[in-house]
Amino acid sequence: MRRELMTGNAAAAWGARLARADYLPAFPITPQTEIIETVAQWIDAGEMNCRMVMMESEHSMITAAGAAAATGVRVFTATSSQGLLYGMEMLYTVAGWRAPFVMANVSRGLAAPITLEPDHNDILAARDSGFLQIHCATCQEVLDASLIAYRVAEDARVRLPVIVNLDGFYLSFTREPVDIPSQDEVDAFVPPFDAGPTRFRAGKPMSQAVAVLGGTPYSYFRYETHLAARAALEVYAEATDAFERQFGRRYGALDAYRCDDADIIFVMMGSFATKAKDAVNKLRAIGERVGLLRPILLRPFPDTAIRQLLAGKKAVAVIDQNISMGMGGVLHGEVSAALNGSKDAPPVLASFVGGLGGRDISAEEFFEIAAETRRAAENGETPPPRLLFTESELREIRKLQAIAHVEHGSDEAEGNRNGEGEERHA
Amino acid sequence: MPDAGASRFRRMRDLPSSHMLGAGTAMCAGCGGLAALTEAYDVLGENTVFVNAAGCMSLMSVYPFTPFRGSWLYTAMASAPAGAQGVRDALDVLRARGRITVQEDLQVVVLTGDGAAGGMGLSATSGAIDRGLDFIYFCYDNEGYGNTGQQTSALTPHAAATATDAGNSGFPGWKKDLFALWAANKPAYAATIIGGEPLDLVRKIEKARSFSGPRMILALSPCPTGWGYDPKLSIEIAHLAVKTGIWPLKEYIDGRVSHTRMPHPRLPVEEYLKPQGRFAHLFEPRRNEAALREIQAGVDAYWAPWEAQREA
Ligand SMILES: Cc1ncc(C[n+]2csc(CCOP(=O)(O)OP(=O)(O)O)c2C)c(N)n1
Ligand code: SF4
């Protein structure tokens, strides 16, 4: 083992390298590109024995990844935002093939308007695809989750692809110290991929992904995929136990921080949860009993664990870094479903949306969220959902609109001025 | 003729007497695409994995049945060539690592309709050619989106009536030249075939097999359902497509295009058009001379340089 400063992107590349990925179909997109460039350099330098191929789109990339996994090799790939959506048809398709492989998604907000900065609408669009999802908050987690992901994906009880999610910029481009486990240790943890009889070989004809006629076989195979995803809860628990024995780092399906004696809990995913953690520490310092619950697994959804952890709490504030238009925060809905019908569920489950397109969530905002949630707990009424935005931000926008308005009068339509024009390396 | 001398298929009686492809598929009676595939599969052999794009043929393998003795992977409408890339690369990796033997290797064949081939699948096809993928691209060309009811595709011919160009002048555009698109990008091999010319067909499949790299087979596929004619006319329509010069049988090797049949004399295109419901509006209620002349002129213009060469 050695320790190095590295970005989240490099950590994802290390995951692929240490897992001895055989094959990597690729397509560039900011802020993911560094992953494939890193692997390309290792291949060139003879440090990694992997076949990498540049595809012409993410739709093709995910098709090739699934097809190679269905042929029996270990596959890694990576994408982000627009790329994930461009490949969406194939996410569902290759998951239906039960093709196990690992894909890093570097979360970035979706167009329009176009942005390069992170939020979770991209990854949540893949929520129902059949890919399992592991959400990371640190660079170390990115590396570790990639290894754990192979164990889970390739397990005969699961056989599903897994997305390891890391936030664009906040993780992808941020350097943190990361322990790089030795190859021997990783080899012991991630044995070679055994595709079993489901693969293509001459002399052993095999039809995969064939059509079905009618709802009965269709339902059967869809249920089977769902049950495999549910079985992944246990397989993940086994894999993380084994990981802890091998490497000494413990991961659960949830990361619960100072939750035991807390009466108010923040629920948040991804790297922005580290901001929530800071806020929890500051609130604790002034005597507020606040904790943070961070789902690491989003699919399968660890509903039982969430129910147990939140049982008896006074109030919960779910802070969603995504927005489902016309509904609100997606995670809020998921947590709410998990708590539904449980006897000692917290009486207040408040919803906050923030951090869209990389917008910061300040410590003051976390304090305000905590205060509002506590007020709600006291009067027993869940407040209406809040979209985080400050007065000063609104003033800033008004200024921009004034400029756009002047330009509009003299020149082009305002619509063309907003939202368009990606940066050069997008 | 593609090198009759070198081929193991010298005359009709060299053709296989029974077929590898199982009968009883969900395809329509008289399907010209199925005929071409059946003949081709005998030569491709069971050590083939078909990577299929959404279309009529996707319904050949319906759980738990398959007419194929070899392997099959259905992908999606747009990305069958990318599926072929994944399978080919995986097999190469397994070979390189000594995890499979040469005998366990497979020929990777994309099976696609013309709609996917000339439309949403074009990007994936182009990518596979750019990467020099070692695969056979088998396109059955029924000149429309057949599976969804014969809407106009990029390979629909001029004036054909389709579900989306049902007016009395049919499709106003012109058939995309998929063969030329491939040939312009220097594939290892490209050929046009038709099920009604089995000897020509098997020789070309045999030749395609002998190359490595991107190889394309484009099969005009008379489609009784979409073209509007009695299924028992399928073979005759195929013959007329060749004899009128509407469907040139040709191949591309090493930068050169050559014809394996030179219809001579060429029959008037009308003879091909007339039996097909999709062209009925050219003849009834009155003959559309202008359109017929235009179609004939297109075919004449295609053949002019080749015929001049032959005469020279
Ligand atoms: C992305 C997508 N859009 C539309 C369809 C519906 N669809 C299935 S088959 C087909 C027609 C394909 O046409 P072609 O490639 O010519 O093959 P054919 O049906 O003629 O065999 C269409 C439009 C689909 N499967 N996927
Ligand atoms: S619609 Fe045409 S191409 Fe499709 S199966 Fe029927 S005859 Fe064949």
Cα distances (angstroms) measured from residue A328 to each of A263, A269, A322, A337: 25, 16, 8, 14
Q: Which residue, judged by its Cα, is nearest atom 5 of ligand 2?
A: B27
CA distance A197 to chain B (A): 13
Q: Could you tell me which chain A residue has the CA closest to the CA of B55? A: A211
Same domain (yes/no): A110, A146? yes
Contacts of B124 in chain A (CB under 8 A): 56-57, 59-60, 63
Query: Across the interface, which of B62, B78, B106 has its CB nearest the CB of A200?
Result: B106
Same domain (yes/no): A202, A337? no
Alpha-carbon distance B206 to A405, whole Å?
Answer: 67
Same domain (yes/no): A189, A203? yes
Contacts of B78 in chain A (CB under 8 A): 59, 89
Domains identified in chain A, total number: 3
Query: Across the interface, which of A73, A93, A207 has its CB nearest the CB of B90?
Result: A73
For chain A, the residues whose C-beta falls within 8 A of a C-beta of chain B are 22-23, 25, 51, 53-57, 59-61, 63-73, 89-90, 93, 97, 200-213, 217
Same domain (yes/no): A154, A85? yes
Q: Measured at the alpha carbon of residue A92, what is the angle toward residues A86 and A93, in degrees to the nearest 5?
A: 100
Contacts of B109 in chain A (CB under 8 A): none
Alpha-carbon distance B198 to A328, whole Å?
Answer: 61
Question: What is the reported pTM?
Answer: 0.96
3-state secondary structure of A258: coil
Domain boundary among the residues A247, A270, A294 is at A247
Are A83 and A9 within 8 A, CB to CB? no
Same domain (yes/no): A235, A378? no
Domain span at B149:
4-311
Are A40 and A27 within 8 A, CB to CB? no
Same domain (yes/no): A411, A303? no
Which residues lie below 8 Å from residue A190, measured CB to CB, with a gap of 6+?
Answer: A18, A19, A20, A147, A150, A151
Predicted confidence at residue A418, as pLDDT, reads 44
Domain boundary among the residues A247, A271, A299 is at A247
Alpha-carbon distance B265 to B259, whole Å?
Answer: 15
Domain span at A402:
390-426
For residue B184, give the DSSP letter: T
CA distance A332 to chain B (A): 34
Is 80 exceeded by the pLDDT of residue B177?
Answer: yes
Alpha-carbon distance B34 to B22, whole Å?
Answer: 11
Cα distances (angstroms) measured from residue B25 to each of B58, B192, B251: 11, 25, 30
Predicted confidence at residue B168, as pLDDT, reads 84
B226 pocket-lining for ligand 2 (C-beta < 6 Å)? yes
Predicted confidence at residue B311, as pLDDT, reads 85
Q: What CATH number has the domain bearing residue B48?
A: 3.40.50.970
Beta partners for residue A127, in sequence order: none
Give a three-class secondary structure readout of A126-161.
CCCCCCEEEECCCHHHHHHHHHHHHHHHHCCCCCCC
B150 pocket-lining for ligand 1 (C-beta < 6 Å)? no
Which residues lie below 8 Å from residue B44, measured CB to CB, with a gap of 6+?
Answer: B70, B107, B109, B136, B205, B209
Alpha helices (H) in A6-112, listed in sequence order: 8-18, 33-44, 58-71, 81-86, 88-97
Domain boundary among the residues A247, A279, A314 is at A247
Which pair of structure tokens corresponds to residue A114? Answer: 């176009």
Give this complex's ipTM.
0.96
Same domain (yes/no): A110, A161? yes
Same domain (yes/no): A100, A203? yes
Give pLDDT tens digits along chain A (426 positions). Answer: 799 999 999 999 999 999 999 999 999 999 999 999 999 999 999 999 999 999 999 999 999 999 999 999 999 999 999 999 999 999 999 999 999 999 999 999 999 999 999 999 999 999 999 999 999 999 999 999 999 999 999 999 999 999 999 999 999 999 999 999 999 999 999 999 999 988 999 999 999 999 999 999 999 999 999 999 999 999 999 999 999 999 999 999 999 999 999 999 999 999 999 999 999 999 999 999 999 999 999 999 999 999 999 999 999 999 999 999 999 999 999 999 999 999 999 999 999 999 999 999 999 999 999 999 999 999 989 999 999 999 999 999 999 999 999 876 654 444 444 443 333 343
Predicted confidence at residue B5, as pLDDT, reads 58
Domains identified in chain B, total number: 1
The neighbour count for residue B28, using CB atoms within 10 Å, is 17
Are A317 and A263 within 8 A, CB to CB? no
Which pair of structure tokens corresponds to residue A230? Answer: 């549910």
B295 or B25: which leads in pLDDT:
B295
Q: Which of A12, A14, A4, A54 is nearest to A32 (CA)?
A: A12
Cross-chain residue pair B131–A53, CB shorter than 8 Å? yes
Are A361 and A119 within 8 A, CB to CB? no
Same domain (yes/no): A63, A6? yes
Predicted confidence at residue B18, as pLDDT, reads 86
B58 pocket-lining for ligand 2 (C-beta < 6 Å)? no
Q: Which of A311, A386, A401, A314 is nearest to A354 (CA)?
A: A386
